[in-house]
Amino acid sequence: MPTLPSNPSPESEAAPVTGDQHASALSASEQPTSRQLNAIRLSGSGTSAPVLLDTIEEVPIAFSYGGIAHGVMMASPTDLDDFAVGFTVTEGIASGPGDIRQVEIRLRDDGCEVDTMLAPEAFHAFLARRRVRSLRGHTSCGLCGVEDLVDVARADLAQRRTAIAASATPVIELEAMRNALESLRNHQPLSRRTHAAHAAGWATLSGEIVLVREDVGRHSALDKLIGACLRNGIDVADGFCVITSRCSYEMVQKTVAAGMRVLVAVSAPTALAVRSAESAGLTLVASARSDAQVVYAGANRILTIG
């Protein structure tokens, strides 16, 4: 396998990665998100029948920076350019897309390699923070890149919390939020086929869903959405994020790291997620369906709520 390119030198004037600028674009046809597999369906009456079912794909995605291995996450093999940008920002490796010079994606029989070239200052900071470790990501749980309890309270997240708390958080119309929750179902083709994909969507303040990313992992779906928003120049402070999964601390952490101000989750939150949202000034709505929702933080920012 050819050697991964080195990180740009301080003299490099390469432009930040935006839109579709990355080393090797992947189409959905190159990496299938699901496969049809034979199975046996058992009925309540005890009968059985052969079936052919769409089954979601899950592959290891190896992240590296300037050719230096960082960690492996399990995810769906699609929208990897968005995943690279979103993961890099929410992990605090880059402060934004301006710190990212290039993303190179390589397909392998046993997974995918995603190598991200950082701006010199961000790359030097990455090297300074890097420790000898083996980072193993999982589909549903875990804090990526965290080795001990001290690492949970990241300095960059504290700065983002301060910025969000001090900013004018948008007021959301209750009807707009409910419309977004209802229409999100129409933007989940992978979930309809496999019944095994999480989704993260971005909606305008009027409730229009403008971007959706799906993945076998809820963290990865959110990272991909964040990356897509940043790559498309969407102002994440002017709208809200909707996720189909439960709202754990990590989901709030990623939302805050991206600079988002409103998070709406279909399932329930954890107590730590609620405390984190309150301290960050993040509006948090959870256990949310199109006809009923629970506001855990920032109730004064939901218009028409009693």
Q: How far is CA 263 from CA 37, 245, 272, 283, 299, in A?
A: 36, 12, 15, 6, 12
Nearest residue to 125 via CA among 147, 99, 144: 99
pLDDT exceeds cutoff 60 at 24: no
Cα of 125 vs its chain's centroid, Å: 23
Q: Catalytic annotation on 141?
A: yes
Question: Beta-carbon neighbour count of residue 110 at 10 Å?
Answer: 7
The model carries a pTM of 0.82
> 211 near 229, Cβ under 8 Å?
yes
pLDDT, residue 130, reads 80
pLDDT at 158 over 60: no
Instruction: Name the band, by pLDDT with cuts 50, 70 and 90, for residue 163.
Output: low
Let me know the angle formed at the C-alpha of 246 by 138 and 167, rounded to the nearest 5 degrees: 105
Q: What percentage of the chain exceeds 90 in pLDDT?
A: 66
Q: What percent of the chain has pLDDT over 70?
A: 76
CB 294 within 8 A of CB 287: yes
**Distance separating alpha carbons of residues 272 and 284, to the nearest angstrom:** 12
Supply the pLDDT for residue 29: 34
Distances (CA, A) of 203 to 6, 150, 181: 37, 34, 9
Grade residue 75 by pLDDT with cuts at 50, 70 and 90: very high
pLDDT band at 101 (very low <50, low <70, confident <90, very high): very high
- Which one of 141, 229, 241, 247 is the catalytic residue? 141
Angstrom CA distances, 256 to 38, 99, 162, 243, 284, stand at 42, 18, 10, 14, 11
Task: List pLDDT tens digits, range 37-50.
Answer: 999 999 888 899 99
pLDDT at residue 243 is higher than 70: yes
Q: Both ends of the chain: CA-CA distance in Å?
A: 61
**What tens digit of pLDDT does each residue of 267-296 get?**
999 999 999 999 999 999 999 988 899 999
| Ordered DSSP codes for 201-239 | EEE-TT--EEEEEEESSHHHHHHHHHHHHHHTT--TTSS
| Cross-sheet strand order for the sheet of 294-297 | 209-215, 198-203, 240-243, 262-265, 283-286, 294-297
